[in-house]
Amino acid sequence: MGRLFGTDGVRGIANEELTPQLAMQLGQAGAYVLSRENKHKPTIMVGCDTRISGDMLANALMAGACSVGANAVYVGIVPTPAVAYLTRKYKVDAGVVISASHNTVEFNGIKFFDGSGYKLPDSLEDEIEALIRDGLPDIPCPTGAGVGKIKYRTDAREEYINHAIQSVKVDLSGMKIVLDCAEGASFYTSVEAMKELGAEVVAIHNNPDGTNINANCGSTHMGELQARVVYEKADLGLAFDGDADRLLAVDENGQIVDGDQIMAIVGLHMKNNGKLNHDTIVATVMSNLGFFIMGEKNGIHIEKTKVGDRYVLERMREIGASLGGEQSGHVIFLDENTTGDGLLSAMHLLQVVVDTGKPLSELAKVMEVMPQALVNAKVPNHKKENYMDYPEIKEAINALDEKFAGEGRVLIRPSGTEPLVRVMIEGKDKAMIEAEAKKLAELIQNIML
């Protein structure tokens, strides 16, 4: 069995890989590790997205936490960033989100935040994992009054909306916005926030039934939103993923504005208003080459990390940056929240549109997007980290590095959450890079299967 924790918590097919038993063990080990230094009875806050397995796993996890003497507060269906914010606000010992983010309904995941609302460092995740693998030795299981209890709260989503509105004061009166809620956790919060700020809202995919989360909608399937923005003659469109920690946008012409472009637009506006700490944005190696060129032109230093918003966040904290994120739409505004936040990202982007009076299509011209080809090679999960151990794959990658030197770049990496090796090639000739990326991905898949 490979490592339980990936780049975004524990994830797998619910009731097969991620079982109620494992959820209970994670509740026990997590509550113990995250609160053992405290003398008081610890409290864990738990929320989930809209997928049908959420209640099953949340209740199993809370049962585990209660069995080791911790209390649980269940806030139900809320965005991931809401749990991060509320964990910090109410000074509970830890927060847990039951979500598989942008993945389809059969998947689910368990992600921990510490008492300050930050994702756990690898060392703490390793400690939780080791306890589970060792059979949870020496963890006390109290009886009588020592057992924990569960409190249910229904006001969490309103508190999160109020936090976002207070953080970014913007008047959206006169604006028409199409929202794609991915049948996920933003189905209420994003719609209500935009309405409260005065926008005319056209909401799509905001009727979750437990099984339709991310189904051909949201930030991983933008086609319908693009068409709807044009049809509605809207000012722009906003797409969230299942747990609403990421955002992508669509301009008034139906063109996608990705995470790099959002960071470029908002980052430059923040710099011009003296709010971009150290004139620095933290991004990953997967960010578009055009984003780095934009930074050079505008006096913005762009710090690179490996892929994963947790690594972006770690670097932001180390250097005191206020803005960072990923091309996929995880954007972190560290002055306002401790994780990627789709609603805050939307409001910051809308603030630039309102302040400048410019349409999103014009604002997006701040950076030229270089063509990228991203192709996934499906490989066994336990092999995905070892793709360079195969001589034929290594030779093919080296050959492509030489071919695109000075004219682009080649980036190969294993997915942190799925059984995939991702092949990304960036260059000027779109047809050529797409053909080369497909060819390399097929080679990796055929050799490693």
| Coil/strand/helix, residue 284 | strand
What are the φ/ψ torsions at residue 250 (nearest 5 degrees)?
-130, 130
* Token digits of residue 376: 């996934």
User: Quick check: is 99 catalytic?
Assistant: no
CA dihedral of residues 243, 249, 255, 258 (deg, nearest 10): -80
Q: Among the options 35, 53, 67, 101, which is catalytic?
A: 101
Where helices occur in 273-308 by DSSP H, the ranges are 289-298
Q: Are 46 and 143 in contact (CB under 8 A)?
A: no
Strand partners, 77: 48
Question: Tokens for 308?
Answer: 């994963």
First to last CA, the chain: 18
d(CA 225, CA 144): 54
Contact of 312 with 288, CB cutoff 8 Å: no
Contact criterion met (CB below 8 Å) for 428 and 407: yes
Beta strands in 21-165 (DSSP E): 43-48, 71-77, 94-98, 107-114, 150-152
Enumerate the active-site residues.
101
